[in-house]
A and B are shown apart, each in its own frame.
Chain A
Amino acid sequence: MTKILILPRALIACMAFISGFCIMTIEMLGARILSPYFGGSLSVWGSIITIFMLALALGYLLGGRLSTRTPSGVTYALFFIGAALFSVPIILFADIIMNPIMINIEDARYGSLFASIFLFFIPTSILGMISPYSVRLMVDKEEHSGHMAGLLYFISTLGSALGTLGTSFYFVLWYEVNQILWGSVLSLMLAGFVILFFDKFLKAA
């Protein structure tokens, strides 16, 4: 059975790229945000990666679940806007969040783990929902589902690779941490509004 696509495939591909890019940009900055409080040891990186992986895992699960109900462009857009909004505390409240954690948890390993949960878990989970939902939006024929899933993984992982490279090689040399974070927030926000725009005005076309 062939269904009608809500959004153009190229747009969804673009969005998957942006989400992949932003996930890794924020993750790469994680160590820089945490190091003043918990140091730069290997375990701090371990905490960050663990929490990102757990948050993404949960996001994949929930995003997949949500896609089984009537998928909509508005829900899709809300993932981006939600991720953008929940990333703002990383910029504005990082010190307020990390200070009490550092004071109360002597062991830097668990301190950094808890700090990562409070700072990164929610926005990363929301970003994780984008992937399975994108697959749902791109599939119109059952036999294409694997193809589309592969294409999406390809694009979003490519975005992640470039987000990692760009952040660690160049952005930190050119900009301040918070400027890069605001850049991610803005990109995600913009992505959300572009989706809303397409959903409202160009659906018929």
Chain B
Amino acid sequence: MLKNRIKFIASGFSLLIVSLFLAAESSAETIHEERSKYRDITVTQIGERRCLLFNVHRGDRNQTCMMLDNPDQLVFDYTRMSFAGLLLQQSPKNILVIGLGGGSIPMTFADLFPSAQIDVIEIDDAVVKVAGEYFDFNETQNMKVHVGDGRPFIKRAGLRGEKYDYIVLDAFSGDYIPEHMLTREFLEEVKAVMTNDGVLIANTFSTSRLYDHESVTYQRAFSEFYNFKLPTSGNRIIIAQLGVLPPREELVEASRSLELSLDKYGINIIDYPRRLTTRADWDMSRRELTDQYSPGNLLRGN
């Protein structure tokens, strides 16, 4: 009886070990693991492609990658899509990026606009460390990283009367959604730090009920926005402005003048204008998200 049980456990173990080997073989080589307050951070590499992964054990492979032999190249659609706001604001001077990741978005901005002031907010100091050690991210005179939560940062910036003309909201790529940054009140605080010609880019969810709730909330806050999806990406980018959105012809024109400068990052800006739409493809009867009602993590599961 006992012997059988030991045999059973042993066979279970060997099965586990074999499957672990198989899993390791099919994936990239792990070159670094960082302990963090919030999530596990793993740096992997396949050939010249180095990636930052969150929560590997959950199978939820949120990642950001860079090509070591071509570091300018942006590897993912959502990163490239974050520059669609340039169609509306071609020369940002004060840029705010919420969520650092591997740092590719702020680094591209720094490369494109060397004299622009760039503030980056990242809640997890371990991410800042890894971005610095493995993804060539460095603070400069014009680019500062602030470790902390995005919402109080924006609230304080508003109290100080600071303004930004390009804001990228990229805080939703983790496993857990910061629900306080989905609300109408938060968007009002964001609006308070936007210049009149400023643009807000939000990298958000394209699936689940949350898509509807989120769209309704942005619509109430900005009255209209460009919805930007690519067939190759599971992300949806929201592009919003304080004033009236420019007509498509202006965007087409802007894309022509941006084409050359964005080419080396892999941003096919010329293709973007026709992908932007103000047409509502969400359920408009959904409830707006507010500080009083924001069950983002529950809505995501449905």
CA distance A179 to B156 in the complex (A): 28
CA distance A179 to B291 in the complex (A): 12
Main SS class of interface, A:
helix
In the assembled complex, A37 has its CB within 8 A of some CB on chain B? yes
A196 vs chain B, min Cβ distance (A): 32
B123 touches A36 (CB 8 A): no
A34 vs chain B, min Cβ distance (A): 9
| Residues of B contacting A169 in the complex (Cβ-Cβ under 8 angstroms) | 298
B298 touches A173 (CB 8 A): yes
A39 touches B292 (CB 8 A): no
CA distance A177 to B180 in the complex (A): 13
A42 touches B155 (CB 8 A): no
CA distance A103 to B160 in the complex (A): 11
In the assembled complex, A102 has its CB within 8 A of some CB on chain B? yes
In the assembled complex, B293 has its CB within 8 A of some CB on chain A? yes
B298 touches A108 (CB 8 A): no
CA distance A38 to B123 in the complex (A): 12
Q: Name the residue on A nearest B186 (C-beta).
A: A36
B-contact bits for A157-199, CB 8 A (1 contact / 0 none)? 0000000000001001101111100000000000000000000
**Which residue from A36, A102, A173 sits with its C-beta under 8 Å from B185?**
A36
**Which residue from A32, A40, A177 sits with its C-beta under 8 Å from B149?**
A40
Q: Name the residue on A nearest B38 (C-beta).
A: A42
In the assembled complex, A72 has its CB within 8 A of some CB on chain B? no
A177 touches B293 (CB 8 A): yes
A39 touches B291 (CB 8 A): no
Known: A102-B155, A103-B159, A108-B148. A40 touches B291 (CB 8 A): no
| Residues of A contacting B149 in the complex (Cβ-Cβ under 8 angstroms) | 35, 38-41, 108
Known: A177-B293, A178-B292. A35 touches B298 (CB 8 A): no
**Which residue from A39, A173, A178 sits with its C-beta under 8 Å from B152?**
A39
A36 touches B180 (CB 8 A): yes
A-contact bits for B139-156, CB 8 A (1 contact / 0 none)? 000000000111110011
CA distance A39 to B37 in the complex (A): 15
B206 vs chain A, min Cβ distance (A): 21
Q: Name the residue on B nearest A95 (C-beta).
A: B291
In the assembled complex, B294 has its CB within 8 A of some CB on chain A? yes
Within 8 A of B (CB), among A26-74: 32, 35-42
In the assembled complex, B178 has its CB within 8 A of some CB on chain A? yes
A32 touches B294 (CB 8 A): yes
Within 8 A of B (CB), among A83-106: 102-103
B298 touches A39 (CB 8 A): no
**Which residue from B152, B178, B179, B291 sits with its C-beta under 8 Å from A38?**
B152
A164 vs chain B, min Cβ distance (A): 14
B291 touches A36 (CB 8 A): yes
| Residues of B contacting A40 in the complex (Cβ-Cβ under 8 angstroms) | 149, 151, 178-180
The 10 lowest CB-CB distance pairs between A and B, nearest first, are: A39-B149, A176-B292, A35-B180, A173-B295, A172-B295, A177-B292, A40-B178, A176-B293, A173-B298, A39-B152
